[in-house]
């Protein structure tokens, strides 16, 4: 199952013009890329945009963006830790077996992850017809843009509190991007650095053990303003270095940004991406754009996946 030919970028509806079908849910992109589409905004990663993004590689610097699969430790949100079993012996060689929860560490949330309580999964496609194997077979590559909100707000006397539900507003994103001298263009993968992982790395064992039962973390602001901002800039996907992309805990269930981004707008979500080394390099050379690649696990019907992501500059 794949996407049908969609409209050119200039013809994409704005957030206030959604939906394009009278029978589709409010604030949804259902039908924009055809009734059977399973890619959502990944459709914006056209060959032309991949070629343009490849030209951003100037130094050959490579930044892996995945955490060790054993982090955070213990896992958050009640997820189970990984299990790694090495088979064989020193004399015969080895195989190994790795069992992971695909959302316990760096991840893409696929469209099976969240169903809208009233409307179901993205684009009205049946649960069983979604899956990470679609994204894996296509691959993800294009222009990445980093919005280092943590660095920007600290520089302006408003540091994000890594242990508090400190909301990042669209105004914060605009101010950060303007200060960095970079803009978000249609088809970009936007990476948002909150500084949460940098803080987590300094946390002692007792603090880490206490997090699953008392998690508070900065992230994108709840409500309609965040999905409106992302859709009107026509991002291909959005990812961050915090546990949930959006601020946690949720103020109200109805403000849950996941419910708009995934099942309604078809915007893939990345969480717990390791952005610290990339952010240091961007601050050093003043370039906040790069080629971004990601190869999700090819698991038929997969709900989520480690991103296996690289930023190349």
Token pair listed for 134: 């679609």
SS3 assignment, position 64: strand
SS3 assignment, position 62: strand
Token pair 């754009």 is found at 289
- Rounded CA separation 231/225 (Å): 10
Question: What would the pLDDT profile of 190-238 be if each residue is shown by its tens digit?
Answer: 999 999 999 999 999 999 999 998 999 999 999 999 999 999 999 999 9
- Rounded CA separation 237/213 (Å): 29
Q: What is the dihedral of CA 64, 2, 112, 14, to 10 degrees?
A: 80
Question: What would the pLDDT profile of 138-160 be if each residue is shown by its tens digit?
Answer: 999 999 999 999 999 999 999 99
- Rounded CA separation 183/217 (Å): 26
pLDDT higher at 5 or 40: 40
Look at residue 254 and tell me whether its pLDDT is greater than 80: no
pLDDT at 269: 98
- Rounded CA separation 81/76 (Å): 9
Look at residue 9 and tell me whether its pLDDT is greater than 70: no
Task: Give the single-character DSSP code of 187.
Answer: T
pLDDT at 92: 87
Residue of 254, 253, 256, 234 lying closest to 245 (CA atoms)? 256
Percent of all residues in the chain with a pLDDT value above 70, rounded to a whole number = 96
pLDDT at 5: 43
Token pair listed for 281: 């390099």
pLDDT at 8: 52
Residue 45, strand partner residues: none
Mean pLDDT of the residues in the chain: 95
pLDDT at 1: 39
Look at residue 7 and tell me whether its pLDDT is greater than 90: no
SS3 assignment, position 27: coil
Where do the H-state alpha helices sit in 116-204? 132-138, 149-155, 170-180, 196-202
Q: Which class for 53: exposed (0-12), middle (13-18), buried (19 or more C-beta within 10 A)? A: buried
- Reading phi first (left if > 0) and then psi (alpha if -120 to 50, else beta), residue 47 is in alpha
Going by pLDDT thresholds of 50, 70 and 90, the confidence category of residue 252 is low
pLDDT at 90: 87
Task: Give the single-character DSSP code of 248.
Answer: B
Phi, psi of 164 (to 5 degrees): -140, 160
pLDDT at 251: 65
Q: Which class for 236: exposed (0-12), middle (13-18), buried (19 or more C-beta within 10 A)? A: buried
Question: What would the pLDDT profile of 289-312 be if each residue is shown by its tens digit?
Answer: 999 999 999 999 999 999 999 999
Determine how many CB atoms are found less than 10 A away from the CB of residue 68: 11
Packed helices 170-180 and 225-232: angle between N→C axes, nearest 10 degrees: 40
Give the mean pLDDT of 111-124.
97
Domains in the chain and their CATH numbers?
Answer: 9-312 (3.50.30.50)
């Amino acid at each position: 199952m794949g996407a049908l030919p969609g409209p050119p970028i200039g013809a994409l509806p704005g957030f206030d013009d959604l939906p394009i079908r009278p029978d589709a849910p409010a604030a949804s992109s259902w039908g924009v890329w055809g009734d059977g589409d399973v890619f959502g905004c990944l459709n914006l990663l056209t060959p032309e945009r991949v070629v343009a993004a490849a030209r951003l590689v100037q130094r050959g610097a490579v930044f892996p963006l995945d955490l060790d699969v054993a982090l955070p430790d213990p896992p958050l949100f009640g997820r189970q830790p990984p299990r790694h079993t090495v088979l064989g012996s020193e004399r015969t060689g080895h195989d190994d077996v790795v069992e992971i929860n695909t959302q316990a560490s760096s991840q893409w949330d696929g469209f099976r992850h969240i169903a809208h309580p009233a409307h179901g999964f993205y684009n009205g496609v049946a649960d069983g017809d979604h899956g990470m194997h679609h994204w894996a077979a296509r691959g993800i590559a294009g222009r990445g843009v980093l919005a280092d909100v943590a660095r920007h707000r600290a520089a302006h006397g408003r540091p994000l509190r890594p242990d508090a539900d400190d909301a990042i507003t669209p105004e914060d994103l605009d101010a950060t991007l303007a200060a960095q001298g970079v803009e978000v263009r249609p088809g970009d993968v936007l990476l948002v650095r909150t500084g949460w992982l940098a803080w987590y790395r300094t946390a002692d064992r007792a603090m880490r053990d206490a997090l699953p039962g008392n998690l508070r973390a900065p992230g994108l602001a709840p409500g309609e303003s965040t999905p409106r901002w992302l859709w009107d800039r026509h991002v291909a996907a959005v990812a961050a270095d915090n546990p949930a992309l959006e601020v946690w805990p949720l103020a109200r269930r109805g403000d849950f940004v996941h419910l708009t981004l995934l099942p309604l707008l078809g915007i893939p979500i990345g969480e717990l991406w390791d952005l610290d080394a990339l952010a240091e390099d961007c601050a050093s050379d003043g370039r906040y754009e790069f080629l971004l690649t990601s190869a999700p696990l090819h698991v038929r019907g997969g709900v989520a996946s480690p991103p296996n992501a690289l930023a190349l500059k």
